[in-house]
Structure 1
Amino acid sequence: MLGELFTGLDTERGMTPEQQWTLQVLKLTEEVGESAQAVVGAWGTNPRKAQGSWLHVQEEVADTAITSMVTLYRMLGAQAPGFLAEVLAQKSARFKEL
């Protein structure tokens, strides 16, 4: 799994868990930024670049989702799936109330 691989490599480099988590969150924000750039490209609003595609946007959003999952795993380990399910249930319940 990617989370285990990255954690192992960073641990070998002497990074504390909190340092690893911080860098992983920064990586996540980088992926979100790439998704935003892809949207700008899909709309063709950057005159310095050729127009992009919505497929590219979808690929960048997928990268963001993958990085989010890796980030949670690196922070919580095997507890990550249960944590995510609990948060999803809480957030879903709010929408059911509407």
Structure 2
Amino acid sequence: MNPSVRQTIEALARHFDDHDDQLGLTPHEQWTLQVLKLAEETGEAAQAVIGARGTNPRKKHIPADWSDVHAEVADVVITGLVALQRMRPDDAAAYLREQLASKAEKFLPAPAAPAEPRAV
């Protein structure tokens, strides 16, 4: 994770931890609420897609505006990073790198082996 991004995520996580600590919530209660917040943000992203596609028959069709979708997806990513930081404050960045590498290995083709030099 980029250092400035990591610092911001860490600061947000501390802020939300402090807030929830003042409410007397246990760490597991805090994590549960943070994951529910992630689900809420995902729902807002889905709602923005439905709006951009104009597929809600109860609402007037508005031309597609994907900027709201972009903003909601960013909210999902930020909320997910904050959730991970709150649950793994000591190694969130390293854990994320490991998970990303694991997913990349699973879904992306292996890099091609370098070609053997030909004898001349």
Give the shorter-chain TM-score range: over 0.9
- Unpaired segments ≥5 residues, structure 1: none
When you count helix as a share of all residues, which structure comes out higher?
1
The reply to whether residue 74 of structure 1 matches residue 89 of structure 2 is no
Is 1:61 the counterpart of 2:67? The answer is: no
In structure 2, give the amino acid aligned to 1:85: R
- Report how far residue 47 of structure 1 moved: 3.0
Task: Show structure 2 runs of 5+ residues with no match.
Answer: 1-10, 111-120
Q: 2:108 is paired with a residue of what secondary structure?
A: helix
Most deviating of 50-59 and 2-11: 50-59
Q: Does 1:16 align with 2:23?
A: no
Q: Determine whether 1:47 maps to 2:69.
A: no
Distance 1:56 1:49 in 2: 16
In structure 1, distance between residues paired with 2:27 and 2:38: 16
Instruction: Return the offset for 1:12.
Output: 1.4
Q: Number of aligned pairs?
A: 98
> What's the counterpart of residue 16 of structure 2?
6
Distance in 2 of aligned mates of 1:88 and 1:23: 24
Aligned CA-pair RMSD: 1.4
- 1:73-92 to structure 2, matched below 5 A, reads 73-92=85-104
What displacement does 1:97 show? 4.3
List 4+ stretches of structure 1 deviating above 6 A: none
1:45 Cα offset (Å): 1.1
- Counterpart-to-counterpart distance in 2, 1:56 and 1:15: 33
Normalised TM-score (structure 1): 0.93
Query: Once the two structures are aligned, what percentage of the paired residues are identical?
Result: 51
Larger gyration radius, structure 1 or structure 2: 2
Q: 1:30 matched to which residue of 2?
A: 40
Shift in Å, 1:48: 3.1
